[in-house]
Amino acid sequence: MPALLACPVAAMPQPASSFRVAIIGGGPAGLMAAEVLGQAGVSVDLYDAMPSVGRKFLLAGVGGMNITHAEDYPAFVSRYGERAGELRPLLDAFTPAALREWIHGLGIDTFVGSSGRVFPTDMKAAPLLRAWLKRLRENGVHIHTRQRWLGWDEHGALRIAGPQGESLIDAHATLLALGGGSWARLGSDGAWVPLLAARGIAIAPLQPANCGFEVEGRSAHLRDKFAGAPLKTVSLALPGSAPRKGEFVLTATGIEGSLVYALSAPIREAINRDGAATVLLDLLPDRTLAQVASALARPRGSQSMAKHLHRQLKLDGVKAGLLRELSDAATFQDPQALAAAIKALPIRLLRPRPLDEAISSAGGVPFEALDANLMLQQMPGVFCAGEMLDWEAPTGGYLLTACFASGRAAAEGMLRWLRADRPTAAQA
């Protein structure tokens, strides 16, 4: 994507109030764009299909609202993988530090956790959203709920379906911020894909991101006894890659949790390429292979292997159960082989969990289809932002930060475009 244009947005020859902009989608990207446009004096109407806005945002905050990260900035940007280059200009314009200052401006304090994740002081999303919506209304933003976008009519007007029927909306510019394809019950259902495809926009297929994965089979014993059990202080790695330390959960069908989500992109791509992926689980990442082998080689006398593992390595519960499940009897008779299994236990993954269960989605509108203002090159006056763009990131703050940043960038791009070439309503 070309670098963002540097021209200022403040010196518009026409009064900003003469422009009417429609935003489709009331998630973080859409709301952030509404704020930028509203503060510039643009008349903003925001439409969302759900009974209230920010539903997925609120759900993300149920377990603690991880809003962004406080790690070294180049490392932060690298989390966006293949799309780091495209997202860098957007993030440079609204960094994690800037996002924290913006939150503080809403009267919400933040703190940095031990892992470098940033949270509101009360850990909740609801107070932040309430304060934000109050400010949006004060800036003149009109929010319309239970209004589903159906595309365009033959004249370019937006088709909006609500409880009172369908209406046609003319706007000087439109921002699509409809999210990805996960969590359909919260509004992210990917229904926009065929609408844009029908206009000739090549959409990268939506795929699960930040998701769990299924294994080939699992014994009834492991499933019944340990489904839902967390594996703490472990590491995972794809063969040939550096391990990541953290924790995840054993499920009835496979694995999921923060450590799995962090690796979901390369795991998914390996499955797409090879039909399956093998991850290597280190059950004791704080001990070397030599240390584990030495502990296992100590005489166990009449003790069972289970007691030996517990006594020498504190290895029991779900870790011991998974080790037993994925290792054969001969391995348990050889301390060196057993140590190797403990340090690199292979788990074969067959498929990601369904898209609608994923925290977020990969795929969407490619950056190559957009200009420097995040406007569709084939559809002048139509802009895109947020998760519906073709990028992905590890869960939590990385996802939210890029959604906020892209919403701001799209709004500023709309202002530049409106100033440069005053369009007619319904030009889309």
What angle, rounded to 10 degrees, do the helices at 289-296 and 335-343 form?
140
For residues 297 and 391, state if they share a domain.
no
pLDDT band at 157 (very low <50, low <70, confident <90, very high): very high
Residue 5 forms part of a structural domain: no
Residue after which a domain boundary falls, among 352, 377, 406: 352
Residue after which a domain boundary falls, among 335, 352, 369: 352
- Secondary structure E strands in 76-203: 110-112, 117-120, 142-144, 148-152, 158-162, 165-169, 173-176
Residue after which a domain boundary falls, among 299, 326, 352: 352
- The number of folded domains in the chain is 2
pLDDT at 340: 97
Least confident of 217-231, 242-256, 276-290, 378-392: 217-231
Three-state secondary structure call for residue 254: strand
Residue 17: pLDDT over 90: no
For residues 416 and 333, state if they share a domain.
no
CA 271 to chain centre: 20
Sign of CA dihedral 334, 336, 340, 343: positive
Query: How many H-runs (helices) and E-runs (strands) does the chain carry?
Result: 16, 19
Give percent of the chain above pLDDT 70. 94
Residue 48 forms part of a structural domain: yes
SS3 readout for 13-80: CCCHHHCEEEEECCCHHHHHHHHHHHHCCCEEEEECCCCCCCHHHHHHCCCCCCCEECCCHHHHHHCC
For residues 122 and 199, state if they share a domain.
yes
Q: Which helix (H) or strand (E) holds 170?
A: none
* Mean pLDDT within 363-388: 97
Residue 403 forms part of a structural domain: yes
pLDDT at 8: 39
Residue 28: pLDDT over 70: yes
Pair 140, 134: CB distance under 8 Å: no
First to last CA, the chain: 22
Pair 43, 69: CB distance under 8 Å: no
Kindly state the tokens that stand for 115: 């892992």
* DSSP assigned state of 424: P
Residue 6 forms part of a structural domain: no
User: CATH no. for residue 174?
Assistant: 3.50.50.60
Residue 8 forms part of a structural domain: no
- Distance, in Å, from the CA atom of 236 to the CA atom of 418, rounded to the nearest integer, reads 49
Residue 2: pLDDT over 60: no
CA 361 to chain centre: 7
pLDDT at 10: 41
**Mean pLDDT of the residues in the chain:** 92
For residues 74 and 159, state if they share a domain.
yes
Residue 332 forms part of a structural domain: yes
The model's pLDDT over 293-335, given as tens digits with 9 standing for 90+, comes to 999 999 988 889 999 999 999 999 999 999 999 999 999 999 9
For residues 238 and 201, state if they share a domain.
no
Kindly state the tokens that stand for 192: 């926009």
For residues 348 and 363, state if they share a domain.
no
The model's pLDDT over 106-117, given as tens digits with 9 standing for 90+, comes to 999 999 998 899
Letter string b/e over residues 376-399, b meaning 16 or more CB atoms within 10 A of that residue's CB: beebebbbbbbbbbbbbbbbbbbb
Q: Which helix (H) or strand (E) holds 236?
A: strand 230-237
- Distance, in Å, from the CA atom of 140 to the CA atom of 42, rounded to the nearest integer, reads 9
Kindly state the tokens that stand for 138: 């004060």
User: Across the strands, what pairs with 174?
Assistant: 22, 382
- Distance, in Å, from the CA atom of 203 to the CA atom of 66, rounded to the nearest integer, reads 29
For residues 100 and 21, state if they share a domain.
yes
Listed in sequence order, the residues at least 6 apart from 302 whose beta carbon sits closer than 8 Å to its beta carbon are none
Pair 387, 395: CB distance under 8 Å: no
The angle at the Cα of 121, spanning 115 to 124, to the nearest 5 degrees, equals 95
Least confident of 246-250, 363-367, 375-379, 392-396: 392-396
Please provide the size of the chain in residues: 428
CA 426 to chain centre: 32
Three-state secondary structure call for residue 380: coil
For residues 230 and 156, state if they share a domain.
no
For residues 176 and 296, state if they share a domain.
no
For residues 32 and 119, state if they share a domain.
yes
pLDDT at 16: 65
For residues 31 and 87, state if they share a domain.
yes
Residue 9 forms part of a structural domain: no
pLDDT at 425: 44
* DSSP assigned state of 179: -
Residue 341: pLDDT over 60: yes
116: domain range? 16-209+357-420
For residues 107 and 159, state if they share a domain.
yes
pLDDT band at 60 (very low <50, low <70, confident <90, very high): confident
pLDDT band at 421 (very low <50, low <70, confident <90, very high): low
